[in-house]
Amino acid sequence: MSIVLVTGSSGLVGSGSVSFFSKKGFQVIGIDNDMRRYFFGKSASTRWVSRNLEKQFKGYKQENFDIRDLAKLEKIFKKYKNNIKLIIHAAAQPSHDWAAQEPFTDFSINAGATLNLLEMTRCYCPKAVFIFTSTNKVYGDRPNTLPLVELPTRWEIKKTHPYYRGIDESMSIDASKHSLFGASKLAADIMVQEYGRYFGLKTAAFRAGCVTGPQHSGAVLHGFLAYLMKCTVTSKKYSIYGYKGKQVRDNIHSYDLVNAFYHFYRRPRAGEVYNIGGGRQNSCSVLEAIKLCESISGKKLRYGYIDSARCGDHIWYISDLTKFKRHYPSWEQRFDLPATLEEIYHEQSK
């Protein structure tokens, strides 16, 4: 029996992992207590995703508890032990702004619960692969020190700059403002590395850019493209925060990220870190994303501009995928940005 344990199993990456590995023939156990509703309100609840997964995959088992509860977590690990072949840790408090409202809650979820999972893995299934969904926010606002050039619809970097094709894993994580969210995720990221390097566990931290897809429950504080499309479809006013709406992100479909997890699982390494995202070809500014949403939906978006940027927000961030592609050359992205937004639009138009 080969078990895949997924935390945050009704979230975007978690549900994508449940679907992907269930289709591969694994027995999948998901853990999710719908904290997204607590973070962002009733409209952001992912309970419907859990119900759909249970209907779609008969062998799927859903556990509804908080991963900060070590006793309940240990029961799962003690029951299945070495039958657990892969842990995908996708549960998190994902918002900069929310973290500042409840710092203890944010840190206990993002850092403390990650330590719980790492220690349970070490004690009960040390041969399992451990994948952590990290974030590019571990670099803090360091990317904002890059020599950016203002163009009509985006901030950009010169083609001659070493980071033109994207930011790689060599960027410093020190002496920058991370936001409390970024700091708690960085603490977890380092622990994931340490359990790989110190204990020899097969761990990897995937430092993702903007992850999106049709199952994303976009909210004001999290889920950029999904929330933007939701506002376009429903005629709800959207707010742009700072940088003239020219801030740039690279965007990766959740399927492509989970497929990257699968490639790592098949040939794991110890204590690895990967910057992962859509890359330059799937990057866009907020203004450019608005145009795409309007083009796909045939509707005009109502939006306003707030001059102050969010704390720790990046002006320009594109992921350099060179390291991951070098280690896993057979991995390819299936979805480009327009195709991803088309999927989101059709899901939200139902």
**Region 207-223: what's the mean pLDDT?**
78
pLDDT of residue 60 exceeding 80, the answer is: yes
Q: What is the pLDDT of residue 313?
A: 87
d(CA 292, CA 297): 9
pLDDT of residue 217 exceeding 90, the answer is: no
* Tens-place pLDDT, residues 145-168: 999 999 999 999 999 999 999 999
Mean pLDDT, the chain, rounded, equals: 96
Q: Which pTM does this prediction carry? A: 0.96
Specify the pairing of strand 61-63 against strand 84-89: unpaired
d(CA 302, CA 291): 12
Nearest to 27 by CA among 58, 64, 71, 73: 58
Q: What is the pLDDT of residue 194?
A: 99
Percent composition of the chain: helix, strand, coil (DSSP 3-state, to 5): 45, 20, 35
**Region 270-297: what's the mean pLDDT?**
98
Maximum CA extent, the chain: 58
Cβ contact 213:342 at 8 Å:
no
Can you give 37-89 as a three-state secondary structure string?
HHHHCHHHCCHHHHHHHHHHCCCCEEECCCCCCHHHHHHHHHHHHHHEEEEEE
pLDDT of residue 343 exceeding 70, the answer is: yes
DSSP 302: P
Neighbours of 237 (CB within 10 A): 9
The token pair that represents 160 in the structure block: 């001659």
Give 164-180 as a DSSP string: TT-B-TTS--SSS--HH
d(CA 20, CA 15): 9
**Region 88-105: what's the mean pLDDT?**
95
Half-sphere exposure of 326 (CA within 13 A, CB side): 7
Q: What is the pLDDT of residue 349?
A: 87
**Region 225-245: what's the mean pLDDT?**
95
pLDDT of residue 312 exceeding 90, the answer is: no
pLDDT band at 40 (very low <50, low <70, confident <90, very high): confident
Tokens 């590995």 label which residue? Answer: 21
Domains parsed from the chain with CATH numbers: 3-349 (3.40.50.720)
Amino acid at 24: K
Percent of the chain with pLDDT over 90: 90
* Tens-place pLDDT, residues 18-29: 999 999 999 999
Nearest to 172 by CA among 210, 144, 206, 211: 144
Nearest to 99 by CA among 88, 91, 107: 107
Lowest pLDDT segment from 41-55, 123-137, 209-223, 248-262: 209-223
